[in-house]
Amino acid sequence: MPEVSFIENAAAYCKKLTTRSQSNFYYAFLFLPRERREALEAVYAYCRLVDDVVDEEATGSEATSIVAKKLEGIAHWRSELDLVYGAGAEPTHPVTAKLREAVGRFPIRREDMEAVIDGCAMDIDKTRYASWDELRTYCYRVASAVGLMCIEIFGYSSPKAREYAVDLGIALQLTNILRDVAEDARRGRIYLPEEDLRAFGVTEEDLSSGTRSPEFLRLMRFQAARARAHYLRARAAIGPAERHQLVIAEIMGDIYYALLQTLEESNFDVFGAKLKVRRRHKMAIALRNFATAKLAELTG
């Protein structure tokens, strides 16, 4: 049996992380050519591992040591980026190795990778957001920056594709926030801007206790409209030909837009079982987008 190389093992590691998560990204990656798929899997694995660093809640007597551990983890991934972009020592972490290979093939910007770290670092000591401007910064770092990395792997011809990635990322992250309002409140985190809570007459206690009052529903409809505006801005930024080139991003956008619709159709029943888009619906979205892109390629 031939010996498996380190980079092949690294590719398998990144693929395992993506597949095991069964996230919406998984359905978007299914039909990609190997080189692009492996690069995207490396980006996803990187984002997943950086997020995992800050995921444990820091409460009680162990809070100080947990925060210190998170800061150490953030510093570690910042140093790993030196290996991703440097010409020095070979990486020993499988994700770093695959990222180094990816940035050698695709023009992925370091500043976008660093923005993901900056966004996850915000979760270490920030549990409230005073304004939409603050929350938008967070959404940009943890989601739009990911989109900006991904479009370099997909390839694009219009400079407007970057605007597309930014708006789509904000829409996706805000949709996630709306779905996870109850879960986040139980963990002591409230992402919905404090200025909006005050404007609609919703208290933090309402979110923690699961009170679906008329005021709460108006607040959620307002946030859903904000998310939809970013989906529409993303769509308006590029034309049909560019959307076919960015078919993977389109799949992600359509899956999360379907999630937003699910939230609305449930009348924002976010305090019960976690609302999701069914697996077969995700697969249908992926197949439809790939079929449309292929048809456009054949007829164009």
Q: What is the pLDDT of residues 179-215, one digit of tens each?
A: 999 999 999 999 999 999 999 999 999 999 999 999 9
Give the per-residue pLDDT at 134.
98
Q: Percent of the chain having pLDDT more than 90?
A: 65
Q: What is residue 242's predicted lDDT score, i.e. its pLDDT? A: 86
- Whether the model clears a pTM of 0.75, i.e. scores above it, the answer is yes
Q: Look at residue 33 and tell me whether its pLDDT is greater than 90.
A: no
Residue 262, pLDDT above cutoff 80: yes
Asked if residue 3 has pLDDT above 60, the reply is: no
CB 191 within 8 A of CB 223: no
Residue spans of the domains in the chain: they are 1-108, 126-300
pLDDT in tens, 208-249: 999 999 999 999 999 999 999 999 999 999 988 888 889 889
pLDDT tier for residue 178 given thresholds of 50, 70 and 90: very high
Q: Is the pLDDT of residue 121 over 90?
A: yes
The fold of 126-300 is: Farnesyl Diphosphate Synthase (1.10.600)
pLDDT at 10 over 80: no
Pick the more confident residue, 235 or 26: 235
pLDDT of residue 100: 95
